[in-house]
Structure 1
Amino acid sequence: MVECWLPYGDTEVSVSVPLRKLMATVEPKEGRPVEDLTYEVMRAVEKPVHSEPLRDMLKPGIKVSVAVDPGISGVVWETLRILVPRMTELGVEAEDVTVIVGRRFDEPLIKPRKPRRPLPEGVRVVWHDPVETPSERVGVTSLGTAVEVCKAFREADLKVSVSEVRPHPSAGYVGGRSVILSVSSLETLRGNMSLMLDRMAKPGLINGNPVHEDMVEASMMAGLDVSLNVALDERGRPIAVSFGEPMHSFLECVKAVEERASVELVGRAGVVVASPGGAPWDRFLYRALDALIHVEEAVKRSGAVVLVAECSGGVGVRGFVELFSKNPRALRSEMHRRFVPGAWKALAVSRMLSRRPVIVSSTLPMRTLMRMGLTPAYTAQDGLMKAYEEV
């Protein structure tokens, strides 16, 4: 027997697999995080990618807006507390800097946590709400998404975005251009998320991905000037920092993530046991389900998936469980008419469930999982045994 350990919340759990049945264990490549985030941010803004240095962009009297996708790891807050003071050092008055904190574009109803330490005195902080915050339309993308961005961002002379870069189940990667959706209206979110069920909307894929292409076009319409991106490893630690022209700086961090996260599979397995990576990635079930989409191409059509995720924060999006009782065709149609929180993910998971069973070991009530069509398991090992029975 081989003991295989998987992250689960703040700890790990194991499954015992007979050696003859173990096809492979897959995890990100080993690497070192950046040693000094402050140094890396300072270096990036002085040596940008396809743009002038930050010091040359800033002049007395200039109005700066910084759009922020707070992400999951907390690294974005640390980055922001380095960038904003640097702006004031270079001559911008603190009162002329507006930081607009959005909610993660794919978790619009999960409120971001506030930073533990405040930004410099005088800096205006706006908490963007896709429903309540006034927005103005700046155009419509070629894929039909109405681009409506909050006025605090649009009215600035210099528009900056700050975000983490990591894989995303439908956008390819989070970061750079996706920040615009964090400071946009529900109508903009609806338009972009309606593209997330396209067959080319996959994790790690950018070329030909309509979600990505729509985001790029939306960010250009909104007038995004430069981006500060931080690539993260599987533990949420920074591994690269890039500043400059939005797409080029974003792609530089994508490359860093790909070098760590991309793996070659020797074939499809009958059973896949997967973990989102422990906390904070498995705090909410809504977030943890991303792992199912990431491993879909690793499991046989007749196989089964065991998801090991603590879900200490519960489901994460109100009304998400109820979406699984709706007719998929009707829900897809509804997505194109109005914003339905979590609809695209409910449809993606339902599509997977129509092909193979998914067993979940978590702290969630069994009834909740069963309402979604998921099979509950007491432990990871119990889940593996149930998967054997299914295949």
Structure 2
Amino acid sequence: MQISLAYGRGTLDVELPDDRTTVIEPTHAPGLADERGALFATLDAPVESPPLRQLAVAGKRVTIVHTDITRPMPNDRLIPWLLEYLEKAGVRREDITLLNALGTHRPNTREELEMMLTAEVVARYRCVNHEPHNDDACVAFGTTRTGVPALINRHLVEADVRIITGFIEPHFFAGFSGGPKGIMPGVAALKTVQSNHGVHNIGDRRATFGMTVGNPIWEDMRDIALRIGPSFLVNVTLNRERAITGIFAGDLIAAHRAGTEFVRASAMQKVPGLFDVVITTNSGYPLDMNLYQSGKGMRAAELIVRDGGLIIMAAECREGIPAGSPHDQLIRSVPNGEALLAKLAEPGFSFAEQWAGQIQALIQRRAEVQLHSSLDDDTVRAAHLIPCPHIAEAVRARLRPDTRIAVLPQGPLTIPYVARDGVHA
């Protein structure tokens, strides 16, 4: 059978044997017939909150948090509609700040902001990149669970009305994206994020897809996000065409909970057992724009691969690892994944973006990982992965009479689970 994998801005076709291949994808949800109308209706009837037009009125300072260039969020549609709604509610343009939730990612250029938000929005409104490396741009709200200052961007903290936009999908260690994640780590200081994403939290078995309550990472995010005061959530769900399938607005936690249950119903897919070979993706551009992000797709595959099996990751990585990034520096500083895990276990050791290397190394304790990408072989090997120039050939090399193959064409947008394991909430 021929299977199309999400890859870069397009697809990658792979021929696999019909008799032993299982394709696992989210249940398709159609896009809303009138996205703009549905948004306005939801903002007027939110979950456990007054309508947004009663909160955002003339004279109020409003900060809108939005996702950065690494996320497939339809900001180019949602943000102009949200600004239109606020204008009708009487909010002045000069009282609105658009805050780009970089987390620990690089700043986005003006050209990228125009691509995300539209050139008109960037020209007319104050658009600001979060500064994760600048503690002075943040305000402290107690500490994280490990005692590190919980620092949140000042633009958001000092607003009268805080609007947190984003989308909800399965997340490989926070349970689901969206909700409080738009604040922490979205607009938190680097040291705060490093604490939350620390070695012990990442290694906790509850820090995984589909789990929020009991997940130490998500609960720390929630607790910190709530300390700054009320925030109004505007989260959406998307299908593979980036059409909006649901809108969840209102109270930061209650609206997010409604959205995660909507996503859970389509994303969680039960399988009868483990597989010898699992082929996965990072759901294409922009999530597969670099190797740093690609642990998400690997983690989805790891959920259903047998011990000693093979994971083949298809991720374009058009921006490299990226070269010179903290993730690149860390993985190149050690000879293999086990050495990286040993370094992370050293008392007091902390390094930006260490969680990406940790997750990859933990996955490689269970399975071999090969990478099909645009990266050269030396770069792939430097990342402690095996180059995979031809996916079908790599699969054929593993075929035995009883070999079972699984394919996750949309990667981490699917949460596969073995039937006997049940479902975590």
TM-score of the two chains, using structure 1 as the length reference: 0.91
Corresponding residue for residue 13 of structure 2: 14
Corresponding residue for residue 328 of structure 1: 340
Q: Secondary structure of 1:125's match?
A: strand
Corresponding position: 1:163 with 2:166: yes
1:130 alignment partner AA? P
Distance 1:122 1:12 in 2: 36
Q: How many percent identity over aligned positions? A: 23
- Which string of whole-angstrom CA distances, capped at 9 and with x for unpartnered residues, describes residues 46-83 of structure 1? 01000000121133222222222336114134212111
CA distance change for structure 1 residues 61 and 11 in 2, over 3 Å: closer, same or farther? closer
CA distance change for structure 1 residues 145 and 238 in 2, over 3 Å: closer, same or farther? farther
Corresponding residue for residue 116 of structure 1: 118
What is the correspondence of 1:145-184 to structure 2 with a 5 Å cutoff?
145-180=148-183, 181-184=185-188
Corresponding residue for residue 381 of structure 2: 370
1:85 alignment partner AA? E
CA distance change for structure 1 residues 77 and 10 in 2, over 3 Å: closer, same or farther? closer
1:131 alignment partner AA? H
- Which string of whole-angstrom CA distances, capped at 9 and with x for unpartnered residues, describes residues 130-162 of structure 1? 113611212124454521112221112222211
Residue 270 of structure 1, aligned match among 264, 273, 276 = 276
2:263 alignment partner AA? V
1:378 alignment partner AA? P
- Which string of whole-angstrom CA distances, capped at 9 and with x for unpartnered residues, describes residues 151-192 of structure 1? 221112222211111111111111110111221211211111
CA distance change for structure 1 residues 367 and 319 in 2, over 3 Å: closer, same or farther? farther
Q: Which has the higher contact order (CA 8 A, sep 6+)?
A: 2
What is the correspondence of 1:1-391 to structure 2 with a 5 Å cutoff?
2-22=1-21, 24-70=22-68, 72-103=71-102, 105=103, 108-109=105-106, 111=108, 113-114=112-113, 115-119=117-121, 123-132=125-134, 134-142=137-145, 144-180=147-183, 181-194=185-198, 195-316=201-322, 318-324=325-331, 325-326=333-334, 327-333=339-345, 338=350, 340-388=351-399
Distance 2:182 2:175 in 1: 14
- Which string of whole-angstrom CA distances, capped at 9 and with x for unpartnered residues, describes residues 17-56 of structure 1? 334433x211111221123221121011101000000121
Q: CA deviation at 1:387?
A: 4.3
Q: Secondary structure of 1:249's match?
A: helix
Q: CA deviation at 1:234?
A: 3.8
CA distance change for structure 1 residues 379 and 284 in 2, over 3 Å: closer, same or farther? same
- Which string of whole-angstrom CA distances, capped at 9 and with x for unpartnered residues, describes residues 84-107 of structure 1? 22112111221112221121x3x5
- 1:190/1:336 contact within 8 Å kept: no
- 2:305/2:367 contact within 8 Å kept: no
CA distance change for structure 1 residues 284 and 82 in 2, over 3 Å: closer, same or farther? same
Corresponding residue for residue 423 of structure 2: none
CA distance change for structure 1 residues 335 and 56 in 2, over 3 Å: closer, same or farther? farther
CA distance change for structure 1 residues 38 and 145 in 2, over 3 Å: closer, same or farther? farther
Distance 1:335 1:82 in 2: 49
Q: CA deviation at 1:214?
A: 0.7
CA distance change for structure 1 residues 192 and 224 in 2, over 3 Å: closer, same or farther? farther
Distance 2:372 2:188 in 1: 36
1:66 alignment partner AA? I
1:148 alignment partner AA? L
Distance 1:330 1:161 in 2: 38
Q: Secondary structure of 1:52's match?
A: coil
Distance 2:152 2:228 in 1: 7
Number of equivalenced pairs: 385
CA distance change for structure 1 residues 173 and 335 in 2, over 3 Å: closer, same or farther? farther
Q: 243-252 or 31-40: which moved more?
A: 31-40
TM-score of the two chains, using structure 2 as the length reference: 0.84
CA RMSD across the alignment: 2.3
CA distance change for structure 1 residues 163 and 314 in 2, over 3 Å: closer, same or farther? same
Q: CA deviation at 1:295?
A: 1.5
Q: CA deviation at 1:334?
A: 6.7
2:155 alignment partner AA? A
- 2:108/2:129 contact within 8 Å kept: no
Distance 2:59 2:17 in 1: 68
- 1:360/1:383 contact within 8 Å kept: no
2:51 alignment partner AA? P
